[in-house]
Structure 1
Amino acid sequence: MFVGRKRELAYLEERFERGRPELLILYGRRRVGKTELTKEFLRKKRGIYYLAEKLPENLQLKKLSEKVVEFFKEDIITEFSDWEMLFKYLATKQERYVLVIDEFPYLIEREPGIISAFQKGWDEYLSNSNVFLILTGSSVSVMENRVLSYKSPLYGRRTGQLLLNQFPFNEIGDFFEKKYEFDDLLKIWGTLGGVPFYLEQFDSDLDYYGNVMEKIYNQNEVLFAEAELLLNEELREPRNYFAILRAISLGKRKLGEIINETGIDKSSIMKYISILNLLGIVEKEVPVGEEPFKSKKGLYRIADNFFRFYFRYVFYYKDLILTDQKERLLSILKDTENQFFSLTYEDFARSAFKWISESNYFEIGRWWDRNTEIDLVGMNREEKRILLGEAKWSERPVGTDILAALRERGNLPRWDEFKEKEYAIFSRSGFTKTLVDEAKSDRSLILVHGNKRAV
């Protein structure tokens, strides 16, 4: 079942309707839905879909040639002897057609010269043809460094690019026919992220815990081994990356703490962290408003929800999973989940800034110093506006004490440059009547119950 991606499909449709030759680059992490998106786009188009493989160049060309010949139904041609012949032939076609080459990095990783052949093919033939060419790739580093960068032979040839991201929280309910309430959806998002392939593994007839037990804590299911398989495919020395991710998942977020936990020296660990950052798995967080490269307060976090859950609840407990100790695993999860999902709720709250307030905030994040921490800060320096907020993943309604503490932090001298202040409180379990009544008479106070604005 194809879900969502309306904006991305609209983008492809708009480009197709222009009638011009197109060379589009579509990329994003594995399992994010690139293949499904291109196939959905092709469903109502005349086009060729080719999945590249880790094969020698001559076999790749042969297999693609067969696809092209089959599509155009020309029995005279059996195969093309080189890429130039293929591109020259494609340029002769008068009809508008789509050509998707999926996993383009597989095509070029063993034969770097192929990318130069594509440059020549585009410059001399396809740039004046009716082709709508889409090159996709799951290796974000390869796509950015070898296809999109200014050093690439294809630099300046592409007519557009589309980075396919994970689904945002507010769209994942569509995968489950909206059967789940907010609590379970937040936990699912915190466990799987917005990766469609992972979301499709969960069964909407099971509750959250049932899905974790059956679909993750089960050595026969794809999600059990997924994280390590992806890292093994992308990385050399995966053991060191596993150690770093495990350390961060245990709360070792400062560089020195990670070094002490893993035993990896500083020069090596920075290389590993840089690669994890490039893959979108780890990010360096600094207090909002500070320069990332200058701040000395940087903390590392696992930015990908699936990897964060995996290294907290799967990697360390594989022996329990392999011996089918599900009751113990469930107990560990339930005993610690509030702390784990409180961070997920903070992430959700920061992503919700754009719809909870009528003001535009351009710098959004968390802020902290030695004595104080604020979950949510949004700043608009031009208009001298600031929003300060808290996200409470608690089973008790939030009262006026939380608001008073938030306002006290909002009066710190560092915020004096802002003339207008808004306050936002996100609560899993709602608010006391006193706080709701106060919010009704105070336009600067925003209350969000779960994922819906209460006042």
Structure 2
Amino acid sequence: MHIVGRKKEILRLDRFVESKRSDFVVVYGRRRVGKTYLIREYFDNTFDFQVTGICNGSKEMQLANFGLALQKYFGESRVPRTWLDAFSLLQAGLEKKNTGEKLVVFLDEMPWMDSQKSDFLRAFEVFWNGYAAWDNNILLIVCGSATTWLTDNILNNVGGLYNRATGRIFLEPFTLGETEEFLKDKGIVWSRYDIIQLYMVMGGIPFYLSHLQKELSLAQNIDELFFKPHGKLWNEFNNLYATLFKNADAHVKVVEALSQKNKGLTKKEISEATKLPENGTLTKILDNLSNSGFIRPYNYYGNKKKQMTYQLADYYTLFYFRFLKDQNGKDENYWQNTLDNPAKRAWCGYSFEQVCKDHIDKIKDKLGIAGVLTERSSWSSKGEPGAQIDLVIERRDRIIDLCEMKFSQSEFAIDKEYDLILRNKAETFRTETKTKKALHLVFITTYGLKRNMYSGIAQAEVKGDDLF
């Protein structure tokens, strides 16, 4: 078993294997995040039955594929005509194989098996409820990138599969620390500054990280993967959303609108920007994108109406809209030749903020409040244009951390003008929110603060190293 990171997931799989009952485990998460790899590596690619659904395959094609798997594992020569027939043959094969040891069944890309009018789900329901759940030796693992299908049809099922899943593993992208571990495993030794920049481009997505070449610099790798015609990730965006969502165009409209607004948009604002009706369909699209990790819902501090604001949270999608969309004619060495320009600086600032928000636990560790109950939000002044705080951490110990996040190539220096801006911002926050709690200004920067006569305004600082 060769798995980098994923310690919590491995412990959970250990418990399922050791369980004295049958388990039905749902593994889900963003496309390319390593779901199939995790399961195949953990079980050393050895299953009692395994089959992978076919993208856009017809009912007949899916059943024929299932039949081939039945032949491989059980020597079954019959090709199932219906899904009820298919799961009946699977049950018969498992019963013959059952010696009291745990039987592992892995249905990969399960959502793809449920083609139109196939009755797949009903047949699967009969298999689990009528046989597998009562055998006590079955470990059934279902997996898929179509998080929406798994959420609607399995996890939130209100029919025969209601509350049937005994375990769920939502596989998240690697953290910065896990990304560093993954790179070292590939023989890539980069500075943490470079790893943070890499994360800002593609996040902790193992599939993307696997294409990095150790003999190239970070900038060379980015050009090689994204900017050179037919690079390995050159056309990734066109495949990403189309394989996940049925109404992919509408989902893309939403993330494109969010890519243009760093502070995020409300549902109403998204409707106005995309021309999509503000109805249940839009709500479903937002839920789909949120459940899949592409967008992040959050509240503004003091928002009594609890009106949700949505921010783009997927690094690759942001990178695509800022630099890759309509890139025809761009230099194939674009990233190396534009080491510093306004567009890049603006992107760096926003993307670094997302890195910080994805590592709140590390920030809390550094601040010494790991065990303190907190709520995070953002804040924007109603009366002072431009006065906003992108990360507010409200603590149970009656302290509010106002976090300034700055991506910098060296120590960040606070000058007289910026010192005044910070003081006014904190005072405006106190006045408008009417809070009686203590306000602490926290700086989160790549290399920390440069010591000068103004740096004392920060009660605490978090450096890039602390995020690992």
Task: Give me the TM-score of the superposition, normalised by structure 2.
Answer: 0.82
Please tell me whether the aligned partners of residues 403 and 442 of structure 2 are also in contact (alpha carbons under 8 angstroms).
yes
Counterpart-to-counterpart distance in 2, 1:265 and 1:111: 28
Q: CA deviation at 1:181?
A: 1.4
Please tell me whether the aligned partners of residues 28 and 150 of structure 2 are also in contact (alpha carbons under 8 angstroms).
yes
Counterpart-to-counterpart distance in 1, 2:455 and 2:340: 34
Note if 1:364 corresponds to 2:376. Answer: yes
Note if 1:191 corresponds to 2:213. Answer: no
Larger RCO, structure (CA 8 Å, separation 6 or more): 2
Counterpart-to-counterpart distance in 2, 1:272 and 1:126: 32
Pick which of 156-165 and 105-114 moved more.
Answer: 105-114
Counterpart-to-counterpart distance in 2, 1:62 and 1:273: 33
Match of 1:374 among 367, 389, 394: 389
Q: Hey, what does 1:430 align to over in structure 2? A: 448
Please tell me whether the aligned partners of residues 245 and 311 of structure 1 are also in contact (alpha carbons under 8 angstroms).
no
Note if 1:348 corresponds to 2:355. Answer: yes
Please tell me whether the aligned partners of residues 65 and 80 of structure 1 are also in contact (alpha carbons under 8 angstroms).
yes
Please tell me whether the aligned partners of residues 257 and 273 of structure 2 are also in contact (alpha carbons under 8 angstroms).
yes
Please tell me whether the aligned partners of residues 22 and 132 of structure 2 are also in contact (alpha carbons under 8 angstroms).
yes
SS in 1 for 2:326: helix
Please tell me whether the aligned partners of residues 299 and 306 of structure 2 are also in contact (alpha carbons under 8 angstroms).
no
SS in 2 for 1:326: coil
Cα 1:69–1:19 change in 2 (3 A) is farther
Counterpart-to-counterpart distance in 2, 1:99 and 1:265: 42
What code does the residue aligned with 2:393 have? Answer: G
Cα 1:347–1:202 change in 2 (3 A) is same
SS in 1 for 2:242: helix
Counterpart-to-counterpart distance in 1, 2:156 and 2:274: 34
Q: CA deviation at 1:437?
A: 8.7
Note if 1:145 corresponds to 2:158. Answer: no
Q: CA deviation at 1:310?
A: 0.6
Match of 2:329 among 310, 320, 326: 320
Pick which of 159-168 and 248-257 moved more.
Answer: 248-257
Cα 1:125–1:376 change in 2 (3 A) is same
Deviations 1:384-431 (A, max 9, x none): 232222112234533375567545544413565454443321122432
Please tell me whether the aligned partners of residues 118 and 154 of structure 1 are also in contact (alpha carbons under 8 angstroms).
no
Note if 1:233 corresponds to 2:248. Answer: no
Note if 1:445 corresponds to 2:459. Answer: yes
Q: Hey, what does 2:300 align to over in structure 1? A: 287
Aligned 1:39-438 pairs, distance under 5 A: 39-43=40-44, 47-53=48-54, 54-57=56-59, 60-68=62-70, 70-71=72-73, 77-79=76-78, 81=80, 82=85, 83-91=87-95, 93-94=98-99, 95-129=101-135, 130-177=137-184, 179-235=189-245, 238=248, 241-251=251-261, 254=265, 270=282, 274=286, 276-277=289-290, 279-290=292-303, 294-295=306-307, 300-317=310-327, 319-321=328-330, 325-327=331-333, 330-331=336-337, 334-335=340-341, 336-350=343-357, 351=359, 352-359=362-369, 360-370=372-382, 371=384, 372-381=387-396, 383-395=397-409, 397-399=412-414, 405-406=421-422, 408-411=424-427, 412-413=430-431, 417-434=435-452, 438=456
Cα 1:222–1:343 change in 2 (3 A) is same
Cα 1:235–1:133 change in 2 (3 A) is closer
Q: CA deviation at 1:346?
A: 1.8
Counterpart-to-counterpart distance in 2, 1:44 and 1:102: 12
Q: CA deviation at 1:331?
A: 4.6
Deviations 1:286-317 (A, max 9, x none): 414536x643xx65432111101011100132
Q: CA deviation at 1:247?
A: 4.1
Please tell me whether the aligned partners of residues 108 and 142 of structure 2 are also in contact (alpha carbons under 8 angstroms).
yes
Task: Give me the TM-score of the superposition, normalised by structure 1.
Answer: 0.84
Please tell me whether the aligned partners of residues 247 and 262 of structure 1 are also in contact (alpha carbons under 8 angstroms).
yes
Counterpart-to-counterpart distance in 1, 2:352 and 2:291: 25
Pick which of 10-19 and 49-58 moved more.
Answer: 49-58
Cα 1:18–1:287 change in 2 (3 A) is same
Counterpart-to-counterpart distance in 1, 2:246 and 2:440: 47
SS in 2 for 1:232: coil
What code does the residue aligned with 1:380 have? Answer: R
Please tell me whether the aligned partners of residues 59 and 118 of structure 2 are also in contact (alpha carbons under 8 angstroms).
no
**Residues paired across the two proteins, number:** 438
Counterpart-to-counterpart distance in 2, 1:111 and 1:28: 26
Cα 1:267–1:329 change in 2 (3 A) is farther
Cα 1:265–1:84 change in 2 (3 A) is closer
SS in 1 for 2:392: strand
Q: CA deviation at 1:344?
A: 2.1
What code does the residue aligned with 1:100 have? Answer: F
Deviations 1:314-349 (A, max 9, x none): 0132x124xxx2355655563122221112222233
What is the identity percentage for the equivalent residue pairs of Structure 1 and Structure 2? Answer: 23
- The gaps in structure 2 that reach 5 residues or longer are none
Counterpart-to-counterpart distance in 2, 1:158 and 1:189: 33
Counterpart-to-counterpart distance in 2, 1:450 and 1:261: 35
Pick which of 268-277 and 231-240 moved more.
Answer: 268-277
Please tell me whether the aligned partners of residues 398 and 427 of structure 1 are also in contact (alpha carbons under 8 angstroms).
no
Please tell me whether the aligned partners of residues 28 and 137 of structure 1 are also in contact (alpha carbons under 8 angstroms).
yes
